[in-house]
Structure 1
Amino acid sequence: MTTTTSYTKKPFASSILLWVRTDQPRQTGMDYWKGPHSKIISPTPGFDEYRQIHLAETNPGLWPATPGVETTIPVDRRIDGVAEVTFQSALSPLLGRKQTRLAYKDEINVFRRTLLYAGPPNSTRWYDVAGPGEKTGARALVYLRRREGVGTRPFRKFVTDELVPALAKTGVLTELRTQVFMPWNKKLWDTPDVAHDNPADQRFHASLMLGFADASALRAFFDSDGVKKLSGPLSAVASAAHAYELSDALTYVKGGKILPHYER
């Protein structure tokens, strides 16, 4: 299997973290997002890819306990899903403003809190880690919080030059995508009637999407000595590593085209 850390793409992307309403069954909200809400979002001009990341309802945190790092996901901030948007260019968000306004109005039907994280161009990277014919059967999404006193540049350098090569060299990943975020700004996604509270000590600064052949490979990875060894260097730059298990990853737009049916 390849252990190269060459990237296949450096797209312009953003992620919207989502919490479904609690006045109805969680699955009702997840199904609405998967169905009616996706039909509003998918036709947005300028999309290269639109993927819904459905996070498992039970998610205490997959990352192994690490001194000085919050690896247990707080129940009151546990994310339900993430809208992963990849644009055709840095100007694409301007093309989709009309459609985006329709999504704004629909958020109240399904979500209670939404937070947008974006990065500058070239800060998102998709890496080529899968062997020939390998498919992804399970995924984990890891959010990292930069340790106070650590600068953006050293943090980004650690993610790109140390963490990514170490993850790739494990030889078990079938997917590896990284995002390093700009400072969070509420004005980028200040939608009506939905909460956007995001205290400074709860914000994230990077994410990792990790793909595996199946759920057993995912669990073996997080139980491995390799991940434990990564935790030492990670603790020097990060104060939190929230590793979520996914229940589904659904792609609605791919290569700039709306798919007739979502792909897993």
Structure 2
Amino acid sequence: MTTPTAGAARLTHEKHFTSSILLWVRTDQPRQTGMDYWKGPHSGIISATPGLLEYRQIHLAADNPGRWPDVPGVETAIPVDRRIDGVAEVTFRSAVSPLFGRTQNKLAFKDEVNVFRRTLLYAGPPRSSRWYDVGGTGGEAISTGARTMLYLRRKGGVSGSRFRSVVKSDLVPALARSAELTELRTQTFLPWVEKLWDTPDVAHDNPTDQHLHASVSLGFADAAARSAFFAGEGVSSLSASLAEATAAVHAYDVEAALTFVKDGVVLPSYTE
């Protein structure tokens, strides 16, 4: 079932229950070794979890200084020591689905140390993840050739409800107007709690001033379209409204988005 979005004509969306695990690979081995293990043996553990609607891995580019242009008072340069290597996006069939994944979670906990040095789980309430209907008209879908992941930090003194309103009612319609997007997904996060994903032998350090509060996945037809968007006037106008509610906008180039479970079915091989 799709729902119209206020402020964006004919822009509809599906509501889902999604969690994101931000990942940093070990530094005592080549980065690519860790990324390959993640999409290999580790992916099989997560894919076998009961109750998943979708599981995909977002492999972020190694060189990611921060694509969003400078905004006064907003952190747009991604700190090197907090630069994320990848994101595991897990979307559940229902609000009770996480209860069915305890066995696989235990296996994932034990395996994390083989590939990751830090993992942070950001969860949202059921139906707070939104997948917007973009990427072509008249039934002609445009494939995604390049992506950017935005991670947003709420500004001090801004309420959670106000921040979520900015994402839903201001940012999403503006993005839809400003670019020929092939993908537009948003997540707003509950307050971060370490105990939700306190895996052994892996760091979970996350100072309060580094907490994140929302993510936005942007898809483009190709790398040229992505570059044109970030160099265009649309981003400049967006920056002004974001500055009122956000303390940080970290824009990551995506190297690959690999789907292992789609529509509740474990795929024989991942798709990009």
Quickly name the TM-score band, shorter chain normalised.
over 0.9
Partner of 1:258: 266
Residue 229 (structure 1) aligned to one of 229, 237, 261? 237
Deviations 1:213-247 (A, max 9, x none): 00010111111111011101100000000000000
Say yes or no: does 1:202 pair with 2:207: no
Structure 1: gaps spanning 5 or more residues: none
Pairs within 5 Å for 1:182-197 = 182-197=190-205
Partner of 1:120: 125
Partner of 1:73: 78
Residue 94 (structure 2) aligned to one of 80, 89, 93? 89
TM-superposed CA distance for 1:4, in Å, is 4.1
Structure 2: gaps spanning 5 or more residues: 1-7
Say yes or no: does 1:157 pair with 2:159: no
Contact 1:4–1:129, Cα closer than 8 Å, also in 2: no
* TM-score normalized by the length of structure 2: 0.95
Partner of 2:249: 241
Q: Secondary structure at the match of 2:21?
A: strand
Partners of 1:173 and 1:85 lie apart in 2 by 22
Cα gap change, 1:5 to 1:177, in 2 (>3 Å): farther
TM-superposed CA distance for 1:133, in Å, is 2.4
Cα gap change, 1:236 to 1:5, in 2 (>3 Å): farther
More moved, 6-15 vs 51-60: 6-15
Contact 1:115–1:189, Cα closer than 8 Å, also in 2: yes
Contact 2:61–2:252, Cα closer than 8 Å, also in 1: yes
* TM-score normalized by the length of structure 1: 0.98
Partner of 2:57: 52
Partners of 2:12 and 2:87 lie apart in 1 by 23
CA-based RMSD of the aligned residues comes to 0.9
Partners of 2:72 and 2:270 lie apart in 1 by 41
Residue 33 (structure 1) aligned to one of 38, 53, 61? 38
Partners of 1:4 and 1:74 lie apart in 2 by 37
Partner of 2:228: 220
Partner of 2:5: none
Say yes or no: does 1:18 pair with 2:23: yes
Q: Percent identity?
A: 66
Deviations 1:101-156 (A, max 9, x none): 10000000000000000011121100001102211110000000000000000000
Partners of 1:233 and 1:173 lie apart in 2 by 20
Cα gap change, 1:4 to 1:28, in 2 (>3 Å): farther
Q: Secondary structure at the match of 1:96?
A: helix
TM-superposed CA distance for 1:5, in Å, is 6.0
Pairs within 5 Å for 1:92-171 = 92-131=97-136, 132-171=140-179
Contact 1:5–1:129, Cα closer than 8 Å, also in 2: no
Partners of 2:258 and 2:89 lie apart in 1 by 10
Partners of 1:197 and 1:5 lie apart in 2 by 42
Contact 1:138–1:214, Cα closer than 8 Å, also in 2: yes
Contact 2:179–2:229, Cα closer than 8 Å, also in 1: no
How many correspondences in the alignment? 262
Letter in 2 for 1:243: A
Letter in 1 for 2:191: P
Partners of 1:5 and 1:38 lie apart in 2 by 36
Contact 2:51–2:264, Cα closer than 8 Å, also in 1: yes
